[in-house]
Amino acid sequence: MIYDKLSNIQRYRGLHPSLDIAKPMGGHLDGCRIGFDAGGSDRKVSAVIDGETVFSEEVVWFPKITADPDYHYEGIAMGTSEAVGYVNEEGCITGWLNELAFVSVDANPDAIRDEWSGDIGCGVKYFCQDGVIKLAPRAGIELDESLSPAEKLKVVQKLMEEGDERAAKVYESIGIYLGHTLAYYDEKYGFRYVLLGRVMSGKGGDLLLATCQKVLNDEYPDAAAKFKLTLPDEKFRHVGQSMAAASLPG
């Protein structure tokens, strides 16, 4: 009876009942496969034979600062984003859009504006190299404007590896962002595991993870008890998405 009433309301509003259709996509590891991951700093490709990675490579490129469409077309003609996906407990993707790059995670009216969607506070500006580059000057790190975004990221990563306190502040801030955002994501989606990737490379990633966990434990203990943060090894952080892509059906 409740569903009938809901259906009438949806029909009146021109809406349709929610259709949550899950489909298995990965796990196809038989034969020879190639996976590709387009990043804002580099492009990653992996070749997999019967589940074993036999080749993987990262190629630096500059998609964010190159306006010539031929450059993108010759490289891949695609873009970069926060790169967040969601799979259910059976390892299936759902029937609804779950790329979280353009979900607003910062309600500050002065939050940075995303050039693609036009919205403010989008996750893509906080959880990729853009977040590092935005915070670096505020931490006292002057970045050469002639450098590409990928090169600016490497400057901060190098400082972090050298124990620079300014770089540590950048990663701590992103860890705080992530702690609050994961609690917010959990309200909307619900999940048990979070697998983190590329920006988590090196010492900065370890500090970011520890800070994020502290925020969750201190401010969202109920959420912290529900899901676990996981971090793959260094190689998988770099090229893991391309390896996963190789397992998708052809």
Contact indicator for 47, 55 with CB cutoff of 8 Å: yes
Percent of the chain whose pLDDT exceeds 70: 74
pLDDT tens digits, 160-191: 999 999 999 999 999 999 999 999 989 888 88
User: Is the domain 28-245 a CATH 3.30.420.40 member?
Assistant: yes
Distance CA 204, CA 243 (A): 23
Q: What token pair was written down for 203? A: 């010492």
Stretch 104-110: mean pLDDT, rounded?
A: 90
Stretch 93-118: mean pLDDT, rounded?
A: 82
Decide: helix, strand or coil at residue 152: helix
Kindly indicate the confidence band of residue 59, based on its pLDDT and cuts at 50, 70 and 90.
confident
Contact indicator for 156, 141 with CB cutoff of 8 Å: yes
Question: Domain ranges in the chain?
Answer: 28-245
Kindly indicate the confidence band of residue 7, based on its pLDDT and cuts at 50, 70 and 90.
very low
Taking 80 as the threshold, does the pLDDT of residue 34 lie above it? no
Tokens 């693609």 belong to 116
Stretch 80-106: mean pLDDT, rounded?
A: 76
Distance CA 197, CA 234 (A): 9
Stretch 89-96: mean pLDDT, rounded?
A: 74
Q: What token pair was written down for 24? A: 């298995």
What pTM was computed for the model?
A: 0.68
Stretch 114-136: mean pLDDT, rounded?
A: 88
Least confident of 91-105, 190-204, 231-245: 231-245
Strand spans (E) along 119-208: 193-195
Taking 60 as the threshold, does the pLDDT of residue 89 lie above it? yes
pLDDT tens digits, 194-227: 877 666 677 888 899 999 999 999 999 999 999 9
Other Cβ atoms within 10 Å of 186 Cβ, number: 19
